[in-house]
Amino acid sequence: MRDNPAHTLKISMSKLKPFSASSYIHLLQWVINKNAVINIQNNDQKCFLWCITAAFYPVDNHPYQVLNYVQYENEMMQAMRDISFPVAITHISKFEKQYNELLSNNKININVNAYDESNLVCPLHISEMPIDTTQIDLLYLSNKTTPHYCLIKNFSRLVRCQTTEHEHKYYYCKRCLSQFNTEGKLLEHLVYCKKFEASRTIMLNPGQTIKFKKLNSLLESDVIIIADFECFLKHVQKRFNATSHAVSVI
């Protein structure tokens, strides 16, 4: 049997544009009210670099001004080898590695968070570097035309309203945003949590219930055949004494 020949072939190609961040955009008002995020007002594409610099060289007065950090730019640029601005999220691991190689006495790990459709904070990128290194948490913002990184200076204050009504400090897992009263409990949790992909844990509201429906997901195969065969009992008519009974054997 002869196959029908192909007369035309159409190939469509598009350029991959990974998430990156550049110029300043405004924070949501509820984030501003938390006083937990530094939104540096840059007019270039270096918001990532300024956030990392601000984490190492914090200032008390006007921390949102780029002028506070330009004196450290050359130092930070050493870790930007082969990384272009605006910095894509996919290049953050490369920056970590190059920074840690240059400054081995001050290793870092960088996590990136973003708003979801409900304006709740959720993990976007979680570092694979050890947790005992210096942690830097960024907030990724985006509107229709401009993406932007901000520095989270108090992670507990930013996300606490999502998990509890209490006001004291909690230790948060950056992978699932679960909260703990002590750092020791957090470290115990991370042993298991780091085996899974990062995601925000959503708890049920009072009165809500959940029901498991996909029973087929419990099975290794879509189709299972169970076969058995019948057994015939051979009746034995025998009486041993007045208190014994007839016995049937297979």
Give me the residues paired with residue 171 across strands. 180
Q: Of 42, 41, 76, nearest to 56 (Cα)?
A: 76
Give the pLDDT band of residue 1 (cuts 50, 70, 90): very low
Least confident residue range of 1-15, 40-54, 120-134, 175-189 = 1-15
Token pair 């009263």 is at which residue?
A: 181
Domain ranges of the chain: 20-162
Cα 96 to Cα 19, 26, 44, 209, distances in angstroms: 17, 27, 22, 42
**Selected residue with higher pLDDT from 250 and 55:** 55
| Mean local confidence (pLDDT), 220-225 | 76
Give 41's contacts (C-beta < 8 A, 6+ positions apart).
24, 64, 65, 66
Per-residue model confidence as pLDDT tens digits over 238-249: 665 656 555 555
Percent of all residues in the chain with a pLDDT value above 90, rounded to a whole number: 50
**Predicted confidence (pLDDT) at residue 152 exceeds the cutoff of 80:** yes
Which residues are bridge partners to 140 per DSSP?
Answer: 114, 149
Res. 210: pLDDT tops 50: yes
The answer to whether the pTM exceeds 0.75 is: no
pLDDT-derived band of residue 195, with 50, 70 and 90 as boundaries?
confident
pLDDT at 8: 65
Residue 49 phi, psi (nearest 5): -65, -40
Q: Is the pLDDT of residue 125 over 50?
A: yes
100-104, 191-195, 232-236 — which is least confidently predicted? 232-236
CATH fold of the domain at 20-162: Cathepsin B; Chain A (3.90.70)
Strand residues in the chain grouped as ranges (E): 20-21, 37-38, 87-88, 108-115, 121-125, 134-142, 147-152, 171-172, 179-180, 234-236, 247-249
- DSSP class of residue 118? T
pLDDT given at position 208 = 87
What is the rounded CA–CA span in Å between residue 108 and residue 106?
7
Residue 204 pLDDT exceeds 70: yes
Answer whether residue 232 shows pLDDT above 80: no
Per-residue model confidence (pLDDT) at position 22: 57
Burial per residue of 219-246, b for 16 or more beta-carbon CB atoms within 10 angstroms, e otherwise = eeeeeeeeeeeeeeeeeeeeeeeeeeee
- Cα–Cα distances in angstroms (integers) from residue 134 to residues 27, 69, 81, in the given order: 25, 19, 21
Whole-number average pLDDT of the chain: 84
3-55: per-residue pLDDT in tens? 556 566 666 665 545 555 557 899 989 899 999 999 999 999 999 999 999 99
For 55-109, the pLDDT digits (tens) are: 999 999 999 999 999 999 999 999 999 999 999 999 999 999 999 998 767 889 9
